[in-house]
A and B are shown apart, each in its own frame.
Chain A
Amino acid sequence: MSSVIAKDVVVDFPIYGTRHRSFKSTVLRAATGGSLARAGNDRVVVRALDGLTFNFQAGDRVGLLGHNGSGKTTLLRVVAGAYEPVRGSISVQGTVASMLSITLGIDYEATGYENTFLLGAVMGQSRQQMLERLDDICNFSELGDFIYMPVRTYSSGMVMRLAFSIATSTPADIVLMDEWLNVRDRDFAQKAQARLEAMLDDAKIFFLASHDETLVRKNCNWALRLEHGKMVSLEPIGENA
């Protein structure tokens, strides 16, 4: 059974290298960002997430809404397991596909073929498992023989197509996305959209952080609104509403 359960999750970022908290930051605080607090020894701490509690089960598609710096990406990273909460707890059941940065780990000097295994390994997939998906990745990315060329010879669109094809090659219970994947190539975009939706249909739980409220309304059934790291609302939307 897949689930993502958070109990009073608090995340503080210590900011080193700012000896003084400037006046400017005090002013800016009203407009953007988490709340700044000063820790004991002249250290600035940003409270990025403040007491989040939720319980998402299979079938929940969660849209994270909020301003820049309201904590959307931080929350995704907490669910991905990169940040452990300072206080409270998070429990994630099921395999997680983190699409926060799909080009992470690409070696531009290596070929597309080698990178398939490299990125696969980072996703926790063995060489054998990636070998089975190689045809699918080659076909979908439309790289053809370019798959045997170093990635540095690719256009940026080709790099994106390769990374996207690899990231969506492996099904997962929980999918995390920071903004909808931005594929500029128009022909590819339609295909990519279909493949992504198929992956999301297979996923049990899905988190999408976005500025675009219509996008969230279209793809999600919960809207979680964050402001200064606090959850201000959690409302059912779309099919749930």
Chain B
Amino acid sequence: MFIATQSQFARALADIRLGVWSIHLWPTLAWQEIKQRYRRSVLGPFWLTISTVLFIAGIGPLYGALMGQDTPRYIHFLAVGIIVWQFISGLITDGCQAFIAAEGYIKQTSLPLTIHAMRVVWRNVLIFAHNFLIVILVSAYFLPPWNWAMLTVPAGVLVIALNGLWLGLLLGLLSARFRDIPQIVTSLVQLLFFVTPIFWRPEMLTTNKWVTDWNPIFHLIELIRAPILGNPVPSGSWLFTVAVTTLGWFIAIVFFARYRARIAYWM
């Protein structure tokens, strides 16, 4: 009962392929959504950037002092961490709404459902791009010596986006069926924010190392944070994130193949 039939798998994979290739649609819809939110405001989407700057400027010196850290270096660490965290948490929480928010489209058209997950991913990539300006400015100020490791940053963004897509398909599907899931996920994401080394450095943890070692979010953040702070991405983080991506896609495809056709009925 639970395992999808061969034709269900074929149709699910076709949906994903067609959805990803619908490049006339999801970028337009995602960008439209961002524009809609900031229409008639002078700075537009850069309000996102500014609110992040305010947060870092407000919290950075305080927490740097609380933890006895060298403030400028702590701010650099915090800025990169927060911005990548916002990218990942946005993918998770928005992913829950991927299908629920697209009810009109799903009930009226035969558009591939993957389009709605792609739209969530792209919207968060665009927001990340706006915030990334801060990373560039802060990094320029601290002038870290150029290192070749920085070349892997785009690969890190790609891995996070790939995870965002399976999260959108899986969480979007589960949330469409069980409307409590978005609330549960939001609470868990809040908790994750504190157990993931964003405010604090992973080296500060002397016992219970598993909290960081087995935290996929930590490893995903490291893909971008480590090279920008001047260190190559630890090979353990690459290994862990590749494993998480593969496993996640596997689970998402199993669910998506089995229940894709049901999503319209759950709206």
Contact = CB atoms under 8 A, between A and B. Distances in A.
Interface of A: 12-14, 16, 77, 80-84, 96, 98, 100-101, 104-105, 107, 109-110, 114, 117-118, 121-122, 124, 126-127, 150
A105 B36 contact: no
Given A13-B265, A109-B39, A121 B28 contact: yes
A104 B104 contact: yes
Given A104-B109, A110-B35, 20 more contacts: A14-B265, A77-B107, A82-B107, A82-B108, A82-B110, A83-B264, A98-B108, A98-B109, A105-B105, A109-B39, A109-B40, A110-B32, A110-B39, A118-B29, A121-B29, A122-B25, A122-B105, A122-B109, A122-B111, A127-B24
A126 B24 contact: yes
Interface of B: 24-25, 28-29, 32, 35-36, 39-40, 104-111, 261, 264-266
Contact of B110 (A13, A81, A126): A81
Contacts of B104: 101, 104-105
Contact of B264 (A84, A121, A127): A84
15 contacts: A13-B265, A14-B266, A82-B106, A82-B107, A82-B109, A84-B261, A84-B264, A100-B108, A104-B104, A114-B32, A117-B28, A118-B28, A121-B28, A122-B25, A127-B24
A77 B103 CA distance: 13
A80 B264 CA distance: 12
Nearest to B106: A82
A118 B24 CA distance: 10
Contacts, number: 62
Most chain B Cβ neighbours within 10 Å, of A84, A100, A126: A84
A176 to B, nearest CB: 10
Contacts of B40: 109
A127 B108 CA distance: 22
A58 B41 CA distance: 51
Contact of A104 (B24, B25, B28, B108): B108
A114 B31 CA distance: 12
Contacts of A96: 110
Q: DSSP class of B's interface residues: helix, strand, loop or mixed?
A: helix
Given A14-B265, A117-B28, A121-B25, A107 B110 contact: no
Nearest 5 pairs of A and B residues by beta carbon: A81-B110, A84-B261, A109-B39, A104-B104, A121-B25
A91 to B, nearest CB: 13
Contacts of A127: 24
A81 B35 contact: no
B109 A107 contact: no
B105 A109 contact: no
Nearest to A128: B24
Most chain A Cβ neighbours within 10 Å, of B32, B109, B261: B109
A50 B40 CA distance: 50
A214 to B, nearest CB: 27
Contacts of A104: 104-105, 108-109
Contacts of B261: 84
Nearest to A13: B265
A80 B32 contact: no
Contacts of A126: 24
B6 to A, nearest CB: 16
Contacts of B39: 109-110, 150
Contacts of A83: 264-265
A139 to B, nearest CB: 24
A104 B40 CA distance: 23
Given A14-B265, A118-B28, A121-B25, A77 B36 contact: no
Nearest to A150: B39
A83 B104 CA distance: 13
Nearest to B37: A109
A150 to B, nearest CB: 8
Contact of A82 (B29, B36, B264, B266): B264
Contacts of A150: 39
Given A13-B265, A84-B264, A118 B108 contact: no
A39 to B, nearest CB: 13
A101 B28 contact: no
A109 B36 contact: yes
A218 B43 CA distance: 55
Contacts of A13: 265
Contacts of B25: 121-122
A101 B108 contact: yes
A109 B41 CA distance: 12
Contacts of B107: 77, 82
